[in-house]
Amino acid sequence: MAGISQTVVKLQPGKMEEVTKYVDEQAHLVNETEGMIGFAVAVTGEDELTVTGIYERTQNAHDAAETVAKVFSGMASAMAAPPERQVYSGVWFGS
């Protein structure tokens, strides 16, 4: 089964533009992760982002934790709370 990660990031007020720029700059690190199919970043609240990653296998999603932590540590000063990351097994439908 595919691995699906979901990370909710709560930001300090006024930091959305700074963080979305940072995520864009760091996208190559995530895309180079073994088993990564792709990821999406959604603005899910005024000061909240939800990052969804799709991996070939659930284990790939677990193995990506170090890379994910590295990316999030670079934006720690803009966060209102530590990110909440969950990994699930699932099915990815895409073309």
What are the extents of the domains in the chain?
2-89
Tally of CB atoms within 10 A around 46: 8
Question: pTM of the full predicted structure?
Answer: 0.90
Spatial CB neighbours of 62, under 8 Å, sequence gap ≥ 6: 3, 87
Given the candidates 3.30.70.100, 3.40.630.10, 3.40.1440.60, 3.90.226.10, the CATH classification of the domain at 2-89 is 3.30.70.100
DSSP H helical segments within the chain, as ranges?
16-31, 58-63, 65-73
Task: Please give the mean pLDDT across all residues of the chain.
Answer: 94
Q: What is the mean pLDDT of residues 58-82?
A: 94
